[in-house]
Amino acid sequence: MNIFTKTGKMTINFFRSVGQLSIFTLNTISHIVRPPFYFKALWQQMIEIGFYSLPVVALTTLFSGMVIALQSYSGLSSLSSEGVVASVVELTITRELGPVLAALMVAGRVGAAMAAEIGTMRVTEQIDALTSLSTNPFKYLIVPRVLAGMLMLPLLLLVGDVIGIYGGYLISVYKLDFNDTNFLRNTWNFMQAIDIYSGMTKAAVFGFIVTLLGCYNGFNSKGGAEGVGAATTNAVVVSSILILVSNYWLTELFFAR
């Protein structure tokens, strides 16, 4: 009977976690639209999430654009369709790889840091101290981070899109002997508005997921240093999985026929 006992416990724990996360999400959303607002904390989180994540996102998208240009040329040259390399780079970066890679990098850097920071505050009773000082922990700790993630991920994506396309441009022009004017013209002519706003919408959703799960796992951590470590791991793993899952459904929403 042990296998049934373990299966039952896992099922109950799963639904308990889903319920707790749902309540946490609803509380966060309700506090986002209600005063008071801590604009200084919001600005600090915008700098932390946006500015300090820029080098990581830039390097990731730069080399992704280079790899896409090389791989697409390798495949399309056999079909005598090398001219569409620019459009493949633009489409792949703006719609898919740009938002997904930016979100995964931010999840690894920012989501883990949020879970560790808030988790440490939880196990050292600093969150309880905030409550005793009549400061709502959701208002002061959670809302600024979630709002900053939703605002800064789309801006990071815009920078990443430009750098990723530039990486494809470098490889195409200086390694594959493309004409630079034709590459830029093909990129501009093929680009559509939906490529940009679909990617930015994805980035905003991914930013919400990363920051919410980082805060949730840290806020509910327990068990001292070991619990903080587990919360950090869960924040990165679960947010990465949800980014990939939600990427499919958002793609289905925007581009399904």
Q: How far apart, in whole angstroms, are the C-alpha atoms of residue 103 and residue 136?
A: 28
pLDDT tier, 1 (very low <50, low <70, confident <90, very high otherwise) = low
Question: What integer pLDDT is reported at residue 148 of this predicted model?
Answer: 92
* Amino acid 243: pLDDT: 93
Q: What is the C-alpha radius of gyration for the chain, rounded to an integer number of angstroms?
A: 21
pTM over 0.85: yes
Higher pLDDT, 74 or 147: 147
* Overall average pLDDT of the 106-110 stretch: 89
Query: Are 153 and 207 within 8 A, CB to CB?
Result: yes
Q: Which of 3-7, 88-92, 215-219, 249-253 has the lowest mean pLDDT?
A: 3-7
3-state secondary structure of 177: coil
Site of tokens 């995964």? 104
pLDDT in the model for residue 257: 65
CA trace torsion 190, 247, 202, 232 (10° rounding): -140
- Per the model's pLDDT, the better-predicted residue between 99 and 34 turns out to be 99
